[in-house]
């Protein structure tokens, strides 16, 4: 059977098999499946257009805008990147990455997944803020950074880590502007690793969560990399804002029993290779990256927080950066252009908008018995 080599084609082909053999789905995963498989279909509602010349009629169905949907997210990503570029300060930036050890990753699934993700963010923010204030690389009592959660690797494996984009400047205890003392150096990595481990230990212990004791004696994955002005790092992080683990461009083939996709082998100098997974395993890995409902995967701390505008403005002024209001607050999107008639290529007229029966009170959460997840 011929299957379109796309993520949606793979999901439509193997979702029924996965639902029969796989574990029960979470509410968030059920919502994701419904949104992905109904994206740009009549179930989402849309608009009707008519041609004044040949009287043809065309329907444009709405997108689902779910983060797990491979068809959505491009516009949201562009808006986020543009907004964040306008808020940068004139200082060297660093990308600090915190990776959760394999022994603790099971906590990010199950009934307490949302709380575990919050604790992960809290440990990252606490340890980074602590060391930015204490280590002699910066010594900023008021620092700021943007944290972005990323849960996958190139092979769709579960690899939760948080990227923090950190400007190398801030305010000291007296409110004076400070910046890094040594070019390319933000803080001592061993100190940050130790602080991160201690924060996770205290938070997990406070909630009574039991984990393998050996994890507290190993080195934890923390990486610090200078990224210049931060512009390229923001564009890199933008891929995580409103997109999912894999896009259609990486899908090579979808057969009756497997999915083949491209991936970059970091250990071999980013060499592009292909991997083939059984169809059910591909679906399992894909759905594992659906985040719990309500979880914020992007968080702001210190003077980067929206509520800290006074400190942010003070840091921006001291750094010599002139804030561009047009970049911080992008202009409204231009009105949608009417589609051309497929018959005579003339602009069509908007007739009416069609509401979705499923979206009157927010995104639906249908059970397996109320609708088929593979319905077109």
pLDDT of residue 135: 85
The mean per-residue pLDDT over the stretch 52-75 comes to 86
Looking at mean pLDDT, say which of 2-16, 45-59, 296-310 comes out highest. Answer: 296-310
pLDDT > 50? residue 376: no
Closest CA relative to residue 315, chosen from 181, 168, 187: 168
pLDDT of residue 319: 80
pLDDT > 70? residue 254: yes
Helix (H) or strand (E) holding 234: helix 231-238
10 in Cβ contact with 258 (< 8 Å) = no
Confidence band, pLDDT 50/70/90 cuts, at residue 207: confident
Between 376 and 144, the more confident residue is 144
CATH level 2 (architecture), domain 74-245+289-323: 2-Layer Sandwich (3.30)
pLDDT tens string 126-143? 999 999 999 877 888 899
pLDDT > 90? residue 164: yes
Would you kindly state where each structural domain of the chain is located, as residue ranges?
Answer: 15-66+335-354, 74-245+289-323
As a whole-number percent, the residues of the chain with pLDDT over 90 amount to: 45
C-alpha to C-alpha distance for 11 and 114, rounded to whole angstroms = 25
pLDDT tens string 171-195? 988 888 898 988 889 999 999 999 9
Residue that is written with structure tokens 């894909």 in the block: 286
Q: Say whether 364 sits in a helix, a strand or coil.
A: coil
pLDDT > 60? residue 33: yes
pTM for this structure? 0.85
Mean pLDDT of the chain: 86
C-alpha to C-alpha distance for 124 and 138, rounded to whole angstroms = 18
Sheet bearing 251-254, strands edge to edge: 251-254, 258-265, 271-278
pLDDT > 80? residue 260: yes
- Please count the other Cβ atoms lying within 10 Å of the Cβ belonging to residue 271: 10
The mean per-residue pLDDT over the stretch 231-238 comes to 92
Confidence band, pLDDT 50/70/90 cuts, at residue 346: confident
Confidence band, pLDDT 50/70/90 cuts, at residue 370: very low
Closest CA relative to residue 33, chosen from 2, 5, 59, 8: 8
Confidence band, pLDDT 50/70/90 cuts, at residue 219: confident
C-alpha to C-alpha distance for 263 and 336, rounded to whole angstroms = 36
């Amino acid at each position: 059977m011929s299957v379109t080599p796309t993520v949606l084609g793979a999901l439509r082909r193997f979702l029924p098999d996965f639902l029969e053999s796989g574990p029960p789905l979470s509410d968030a995963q059920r919502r994701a499946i419904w949104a992905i498989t109904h994206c740009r279909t009549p179930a989402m509602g849309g608009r009707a257009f008519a041609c004044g010349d040949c009287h043809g009629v065309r329907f444009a169905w709405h997108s689902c805008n779910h983060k797990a949907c491979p068809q959505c997210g491009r516009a949201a990503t562009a808006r986020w990147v543009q907004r964040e570029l306008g808020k940068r300060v004139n200082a060297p930036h660093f990308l600090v990455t915190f990776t959760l050890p394999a022994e603790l990753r099971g906590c990010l699934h199950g009934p307490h997944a949302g709380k575990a993700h919050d604790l992960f963010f809290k440990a990252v923010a606490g340890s980074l803020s602590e060391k930015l204030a204490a280590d002699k690389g910066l010594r900023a009592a008021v620092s700021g950074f943007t944290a972005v959660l990323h849960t996958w690797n190139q092979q769709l494996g579960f690899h939760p880590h948080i990227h923090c984009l950190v400007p190398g400047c801030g305010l000291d205890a007296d409110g004076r502007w400070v910046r890094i003392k040594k070019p390319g150096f933000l803080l001592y990595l061993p100190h940050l690793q130790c602080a991160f481990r201690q924060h996770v230990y205290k938070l997990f212990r406070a909630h009574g969560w039991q984990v393998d004791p050996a994890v507290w004696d190993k080195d934890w994955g923390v990486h610090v990399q200078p990224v210049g002005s931060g512009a390229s790092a923001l564009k890199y992080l933008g891929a995580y804002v409103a997109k999912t683990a894999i896009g259609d461009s990486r899908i090579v083939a979808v057969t009756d029993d497997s999915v083949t996709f491209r991936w970059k082998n970091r250990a071999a100098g980013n060499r592009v290779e292909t991997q083939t997974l059984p169809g059910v395993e591909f679906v399992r890995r894909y759905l594992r990256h659906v985040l719990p409902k309500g979880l914020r995967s992007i968080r702001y701390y210190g003077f980067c927080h929206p509520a800290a505008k006074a400190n942010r403005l003070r840091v921006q002024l001291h750094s010599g950066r002139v804030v561009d209001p047009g970049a911080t607050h992008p202009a409204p999107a231009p009105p949608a252009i009417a589609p051309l008639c497929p018959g005579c290529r003339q602009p069509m007229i908007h007739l009416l908008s069609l509401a979705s029966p499923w979206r009157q009170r927010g995104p639906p959460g249908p059970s397996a018995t109320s609708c088929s997840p593979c319905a077109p």
